[in-house]
Amino acid sequence: MDKHEAKTKLANIMEKFIGLACKRLPDDVYAKLKELREREESEIQKVIYDTYFDNLDKALKLNRPACQDTGLLHFYINCGSEFKYIGIVEAALREAVANATVSAPLRQNAVNYFEERNTEDNTGERMPWIHWEIVPDNDELEICVYFAGAGCCLPGRAQVFKPSDGYAAIIKYVFDAVSDLGLNACPPFVVGVGLGHNVENAAVLSKMAYLRPLGTTHAHPKGAKLERDLLEGLNSLGIGAQGLPGKQVAMEVHVESSARHTATIAVGVSVSCYMHRRGFIKFNNDLEFDFSKSYKGVSI
């Protein structure tokens, strides 16, 4: 397969994968929402969850995007150092997004700064957004697709604190983000907390945190404990689905961290929405693919 053929093949597969991932929730998120529904007791919470599942069923049956805000397309990539087609990935993803805008169809959401006109195909300056990680001694390409809708982007924030503010600053910052604008972001959501040394790395880590598969934990025991404690604490606020009174505002809390500068503590918070359209797909060097990590028993 030459580079041109590889680009066409990858673009075609990713176009179809985008079409799938905007219509169906990944298995882990769907199972978690089912679990959460059982724990809510109020009448209004039951009406909301019933509407959630009615909508998800109808989206599959009618083959339509489950939420109208299909967002801007983000791709978080783990690329093996020995993956052959690294050079065509970005162009293929751009093509896939433009084509999926028509075939899925996706809502046209991209607007370039200073031009202020909708580009009408969801591509634009640095869009789709692509984040690369290189995996040494590996020949696979793993792409995590995420549909970044506006509602869940609005509560996102990052700030740098002084060491004297301590870990307490982290806790307060997360609670403020969730209990303020987070109410409007379609709870229950995955809360991503990034701990770093400046706004940029804390923000990126918070994003990587909420993209992590459900059921996974921070590598450090204290980090994993903080995830559990924050989840329990946030779910005691009395906030439920859609920000109305209920028992669960969060599906899970995920923390990702880097080393910090000895003189700073930086916190980033990103939340998803309940319609957490995040799916993993993996390619080998023949561009054979597998997305069973997110969607078992489904084909495109």
Partner 1 sequence: MKKILQTPIKDSDIIDLHIGDIIYLTGVLVTGRDDVHRRVVRENLTSPYDFNGGAIFHAGPIVKETEQENILISIGPTSSIRMEADEAEFIKKTGVKLIIGKGGMGERTAQACKEFKALHCLFVGGAAVTAASHVEKILACYWRELGMPECEWVLKVNEFGPLIVNIDAHGNNLFAQNKLKYAENKAICEEPIIESVKDYMNI
Give the interface with partner 1 as residue ranges (CB under 8 A). 44, 47-48, 51-52, 54-55, 58-59, 62, 64-70, 105-109, 111, 117-118, 120, 150-151, 154, 163, 166-168, 170-172, 175, 179, 181, 183-186, 222, 225-226, 229-230, 233-234, 236-239, 242-245, 273-275
CA gap 193, 218 in Å, rounded: 11
Residues contacting residue 196 through CB under 8 Å, at least 6 positions apart: 202, 205, 257, 258, 260, 266, 268
CA atoms within 13 A on the CB side of 172: 7
Nearer to partner 1, 3 or 222 (CB): 222
State the nearest-atom distance from the C-beta of 85 to partner 1, in Å: 31
Nearer to partner 1, 143 or 152 (CB): 152
State the nearest-atom distance from the C-beta of 146 to partner 1, in Å: 15
Nearer to partner 1, 139 or 176 (CB): 176
State the nearest-atom distance from the C-beta of 207 to partner 1, in Å: 19
Name which of 253, 190, 181, 192 is nearest 25 in CA terms: 190
245, two tokens? 């009174």
State the nearest-atom distance from the C-beta of 224 to partner 1, in Å: 13
On whether the CB atoms of residues 210 and 270 are closer than 8 A, the answer is yes
In degrees to the nearest 10, what's the CA dihedral of 218, 221, 222, 226? 50
Nearer to partner 1, 66 or 191 (CB): 66
Please name the residue that has the structure tokens 């059921």: 215
CA gap 19, 102 in Å, rounded: 10
CA gap 192, 3 in Å, rounded: 37
DSSP state of 66: S
Helix, strand and coil percent figures for the chain, each rounded to 5: 40, 20, 35
CA gap 228, 35 in Å, rounded: 17
Residue 213 φ then ψ, to 5°: -55, 145
Nearer to partner 1, 30 or 140 (CB): 30
State the nearest-atom distance from the C-beta of 83 to partner 1, in Å: 34
State the nearest-atom distance from the C-beta of 49 to partner 1, in Å: 9
Nearer to partner 1, 47 or 219 (CB): 47
CA gap 76, 49 in Å, rounded: 30
State the nearest-atom distance from the C-beta of 198 to partner 1, in Å: 19
Nearer to partner 1, 11 or 185 (CB): 185
Nearer to partner 1, 9 or 278 (CB): 278
State the nearest-atom distance from the C-beta of 157 to partner 1, in Å: 15
On whether the CB atoms of residues 103 and 24 are closer than 8 A, the answer is no
